[in-house]
Amino acid sequence: MNIAWFIVMTIIVIIGQVFVFDRWGLTKIYYRRSFSKEAVFTGESIEMVDEISNKKLLPVPWLRLESKIAANLEFQKRSQLDNDVHAGGDFHRTLFSLMPYQKVRRRQTLTCQKRGYYRFQTVSLTTGDIFGFGQVFKSVPSKAEIIVYPRLVSMDEIPLPTHSWLGDVVVRRWIMEDPFLTAGVREYSAGDPLNTINWKATARAQALQVSQKDFSADHHLMIYVNFNQTEDIWRPIVDETLMETAISYAATIAQYALDNGIDTGFGCNSYFDEMDKQPIRIDPATGAQHLQYLLETMAKLKIGSSTYFDFFLKDEVEREVEGTDILIITAIVTEKMSEYIKQLEARGNSVEILELELVQPLRQAN
């Protein structure tokens, strides 16, 4: 009789606790995900912080957190987490145990292996009774994001044309006389415009004197990246690594130019959104915030084309771009591209081409 009563009571307790955890196991459970930095460069590490709290009297013996995390965000193994963290591919699972009114904060280090814009929307929470007879599940919002900038390389690694104006004399290359800045006076020389004669200085020196103009940086740089690898616009990009290299070159050159005080812009025939494929163009500007804007733009680019690069250059011609130094990073140069480049040069622009080398199978296919 005592044994039967014990068995009955045990069953009642098990059923009761299954009911309790099924009903209230996930109530007043709050979760938040954050990162130690908003943006990093490719190859750098970042800390992901999972913060979960149990704001009720009922303890939670186990709580499983599951979320999708891109495989390009690689977890660094940590011995203290080996028993309760599983990460494989783009799936990540973490196990928690919470006492009443307890908050747990867990930090894990990720290495950002590839450029991109990584967004996190929801996580799945699962818990159950002590004996594992029942489980309850729900999905909760947990918005967070990481921007991974393109990898920067040394300028020496970039195969710029030998005559390129992007070199150690970049600042001295981009100077022109500013009519509003006066550095002093000098004697008149044949060919000097009459409106530069300084009459006060002439009266003092009893000889014609002209105002000497100072110099200011007034040229602009536009970096264009062509995402077409063949003349067939419908053919998908075969060599994605090459396009990542192109973006890396563009980011490095942009940082180099901006560090030297050159107004720099960026354009390409890629896009941000699969549902609204629009080419990218950012006008030249300078400053640290502009560099950050350029790097964020390059981080978010998709590996694909929104339009044929010939049409992209045609738009630049029709916009009547003038007085700009243009660097085109491309794997191909079509006849139409050459035609539009000549038209850009005819308007006083300087155009250089950094030609990328396609993989051999793709060359054979063409």
Q: What is the DSSP letter of 272?
A: S
Vertex 44, ends 38 and 48: CA angle to 5°? 50
pLDDT, residue 316, reads 92
pLDDT tens string 136-189: 888 888 889 999 999 999 988 888 865 555 654 344 444 444 444 455 667 767
Per-residue pLDDT tens over the stretch 277-309? 899 999 999 999 999 999 999 999 999 999 999
Mean pLDDT for the stretch of residues 340-350: 90
On whether both 166 and 183 belong to a single domain, the answer is: no
How many structural domains compose the chain? 3
pLDDT above 60: residue 198: yes
185/249 same-domain check: no
Q: Span 333-347, mean pLDDT? A: 92
Give the model's pLDDT for residue 137.
Answer: 84
Same domain, 279 and 332: yes
Supply the pLDDT for residue 44: 94
Tokens coding 81: 């987490």
Return all residues near 50 (Cβ < 8 A) that are at least 6 apart. Answer: 31, 33, 65, 94, 105, 106, 107, 108
- Looking at residue 42, which CATH number applies to its domain? 2.60.40.10
Verify that 162 and 209 share a domain, yes or no.
Answer: no
Helix ranges restricted to H, the chain: 2-24, 170-173, 199-205, 240-259, 288-300, 309-318, 335-346, 360-365
The residue segments making up the domain with residue 350 are: 155-172+219-365
Region 222-230 average pLDDT = 93
Boundary residue ending a domain (97, 114, 149): 149
Same domain flag for 130 and 7: yes
**pLDDT at site 191:** 62
Average pLDDT over residues 227-246: 85
pLDDT at 190 over 70: no
- Does the pLDDT of residue 250 top 90, yes or no? yes
Quick one: 355 and 229 in the same domain? yes
Residues 212 and 225 in one domain: no
Confidence (pLDDT) at 267: 96
- Report pLDDT for 195: 67
The string over 37-63, giving b where at least 16 C-beta atoms fall within 10 Å of a residue's C-beta and e elsewhere, is eebbebeeebebebebbbeeeeebbbb
Same domain, 232 and 183: no
Tokens standing for 49? 């912080």
pLDDT value at residue 171 = 42
Same domain, 45 and 78: yes
Is residue 231's pLDDT more than 60? Answer: yes
CATH number at residue 285: 3.40.50
Instruction: Please check whether residue 149 is in contact with residue 40, taking contact to mean a CB–CB distance below 8 angstroms.
Output: yes
What is the per-residue pLDDT for 324? 87
As a whole number of angstroms, the distance between CA 128 and CA 121 comes to 24
pLDDT score at 86: 47
Lowest-confidence range among 15-19, 114-118, 134-138? 15-19
Task: Indicate whether 197 and 284 sit together in one domain.
Answer: no
Task: Answer whether 178's CB lies under 8 Å from 214's CB.
Answer: yes
Distance of CA 101 to the CA centre of its chain: 39
Same domain membership, residue 203 and residue 81: no
Same domain, 223 and 276: yes
Residue 80 has pLDDT above 50, yes or no: no
- What's the pLDDT band for 25 if we cut at 50, 70, 90? confident
CA distances from 7 to 4, 19, 41, 210 (A): 5, 18, 61, 111
